């Protein structure tokens, strides 16, 4: 692995390897603490958008592993504005051992990786959120023992989080279903890849409009914000369209009795998810958020020799 830009770039074996390593690092951390595997290593975290989980979990992951993380806010770097992406990539490569970037356009993180001589991690782009998907898969694995054969249903906007979840589900043999309103479909090219991955793994992909049909027999119901960062101007319009896709107690009751509910957070309680569900017995929202730490340790250890 040279970079971690999308789930689509990783083989099922690499993903499984990352998950096994994440589990190992998690158990080790909880029992005696992690050894300083990344002693003397530095991570630059370039943020073009706000963050709680991504920033804090990467920073703590580096600290637990004996390394160091530097936070670079949108005001400092101005990727492609104050300075070209190619120049930022080459300058940072002279100072640090790995770069994590949260960007607007996916092409920007690809461009960073093209010019950097150190590994680049996608900390969320408009197209995908692979670090999130790895933590999601870890959470599902801990709950059900494997992803193969599970029914994973995403309800809501066909966004970056949905793309990465679809791809990791399809790579690992799960049955992925999405229910979303017309006009908010997953990108066509991502779906095409999803079908290819599912065919290779024995999984499946279903694209539906009806959330009720989508959650039937679901082991996992997943949702995310109706308005992603960068789409704020559409928020009002989206609030008109998405209410039938709210994950509430009634919808959850239509799934399997052992269903778990997931959300990458931040949640907009009362919109895509109700308090009752977010704080109820099927919710795995906080273990899922914690797993960002453990999944990212695995990514960092794999990328840094
Ligand atoms: N889920 C997630 O990436 O959260 P942040 O935006 O707070 O990093
Ligand atoms: N889809 C959301 C995820 C936030 C972690 C966004 O891009 O804003």
Per-residue pLDDT of the chain (305 residues; tens, 9 = 90+): 899 999 999 999 999 999 999 999 999 999 999 999 999 999 999 999 999 999 999 999 999 999 999 999 988 888 888 899 999 999 999 999 999 999 999 999 999 999 999 999 999 999 999 999 999 999 999 999 999 999 999 999 999 999 999 999 999 999 999 999 999 999 999 999 999 999 999 999 999 999 999 999 999 999 999 999 999 999 999 999 999 999 999 999 999 999 999 999 999 999 999 999 999 999 999 999 999 999 999 999 999 98
Nearest CA owner, ligand 2 atom 2:
228
Q: Is residue 42 domain-shared with residue 148, that is, in the same domain?
A: no
Indicate if ligand 2 lies below 6 Å from the C-beta of 131.
Answer: no
Query: Do 155 and 215 meet the contact criterion of CB atoms below 8 Å apart?
Result: yes
Burial state string for 105-131 with b = 16 or more CB within 10 A and e = fewer than 16:
ebebbbbbbebbebbbbbbbbbbbbbb
Q: Is residue 214 part of a domain?
A: yes
Q: Is the dihedral of CA 6, 290, 14, 173 positive or negative?
A: negative
- Examine the domain organization and report whether 170 and 261 are in the same domain: yes
Does any domain span residue 259? yes
**Structural domain containing residue 187:** 132-287
* Domain identity same for 282 and 295: no
Determine the residue of 47, 50, 53 to mutate for testing ligand 1's pocket, defined as the one with the most ligand atoms within 8 A of the Cβ atom.
53
Q: Could you tell me the distance, in angstroms and rounded to a whole number, from the CA of residue 53 to the centre of ligand 1? A: 5
Is the same domain home to 38 and 125? yes
Q: Is residue 40 part of a domain?
A: yes
pTM: 0.98
Catalytic residue list: 102, 129, 132, 224, 264, 292
Statement to judge: residues 271 and 297 lie in one domain: no
User: Do 299 and 238 belong together in one domain?
Assistant: no
- The reply to whether 262 and 299 lie within a common domain is no
Assess if residue 1 is contained within a domain: no
Taking the CA atoms of the chain, what radius of gyration do you get in angstroms? 19
The answer to whether residue 2 sits within a structural domain is no
* CATH number of the domain to which 38 belongs: 3.40.50.1370
CA distances from 62 to 68, 69, 93, 199 (A): 5, 6, 17, 37
Q: How far is the CA of 200 from the centre of ligand 1 (A)?
A: 30
Asked if 167 and 225 sit in the same domain, the reply is: yes
Which residue has its alpha carbon closest to ligand 1 atom 1?
Answer: 264
Does 246 share its domain with 298?
A: no
Atom from ligand 1 closest to the CA of residue 131: 3
Clarify whether residues 264 and 239 are in a common domain. Answer: yes
Sheet containing 68-72, strands listed edge to edge, beginning at the edge strand earlier in sequence = 68-72, 42-47, 98-102, 120-122
Residue 296 and residue 218 share a domain: no
Is residue 76 one of the residues assigned to a domain? yes
The Å distance, Cα 248 to ligand 2 centre, comes to 20
Asked if residue 268 belongs to a domain, the reply is: yes
State the total domains in the chain.
2
- SS3 string, the chain, reads CCCECCCCCCCHHHHHHHHHHHHHHHHHHHHCCCCCCCCCCEEEEEECCCCCHHHHHHHHHHHHCCCEEEEECHHHHCECCCECHHHHHHHHHCCCCEEEEECCCHHHHHHHHHHCCCCEEECCCCCCCHHHHHHHHHHHHHHHCCCCCCEEEEECCCCHHHHHHHHHHHHCCCEEEEECCCCCCCCHHHHHHHHHHHHHHCCEEEEECCHHHHHCCCCEEEECCCCCCCCHHHHHHHHHHCHHHCECHHHHCCCCCCCEEEECCCCCECCCECHHHHCCCCECHHHHHHHHHHHHHHHHHHHCC
**Do residue 140 and residue 283 come from a single domain?**
yes
Asked if the structure places residue 51 within a domain, the reply is yes
């Amino acid at each position: 692995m040279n970079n971690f830009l999308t789930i689509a770039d990783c083989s099922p074996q690499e993903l499984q390897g990352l998950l096994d390593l994440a589990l190992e690092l998690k158990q080790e951390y909880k029992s005696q603490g992690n050894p300083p595997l990344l002693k003397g290593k530095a991570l630059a975290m370039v943020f073009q958008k706000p963050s709680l989980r991504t920033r804090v979990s990467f920073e703590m992951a580096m600290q637990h592993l004996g390394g160091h993380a530097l936070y670079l806010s949108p005001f400092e770097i101005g990727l492609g504005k104050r300075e070209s992406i190619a120049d930022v990539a080459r300058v940072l490569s002279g100072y640090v051992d790995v770069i994590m970037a949260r960007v607007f356009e996916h092409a920007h993180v690809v461009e960073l990786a093209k010019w950097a001589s150190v590994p680049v991690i996608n900390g969320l782009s408009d197209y995908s959120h692979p670090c999130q998907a790895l933590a999601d898969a870890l959470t599902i694995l801990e709950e059900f023992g494997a992803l193969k054969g599970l029914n994973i249903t995403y309800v809501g906007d066909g966004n970056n989080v949905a793309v990465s979840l679809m791809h990791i589900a399809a790579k690992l043999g799960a049955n992925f279903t999405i229910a979303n309103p017309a006009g908010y479909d997953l990108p066509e090219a991502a779906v095409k890849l999803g079908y290819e991955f599912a065919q290779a793994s024995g999984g499946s992909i279903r694209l539906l409009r009806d959330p009720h049909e989508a959650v039937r027999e679901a082991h996992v119901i997943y949702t995310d914000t109706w308005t992603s960062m960068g789409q704020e101007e559409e928020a009002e319009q989206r609030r008109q369209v998405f209410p039938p896709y709210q994950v509430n107690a009634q919808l959850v009751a239509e799934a399997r009795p052992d269903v778990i509910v997931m959300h990458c957070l931040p949640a907009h309680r009362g919109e895509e998810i109700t308090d009752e569900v977010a704080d109820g017995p099927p919710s795995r929202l906080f273990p899922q958020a914690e797993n960002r730490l453990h999944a990212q340790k695995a990514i960092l250890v794999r990328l840094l020799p």
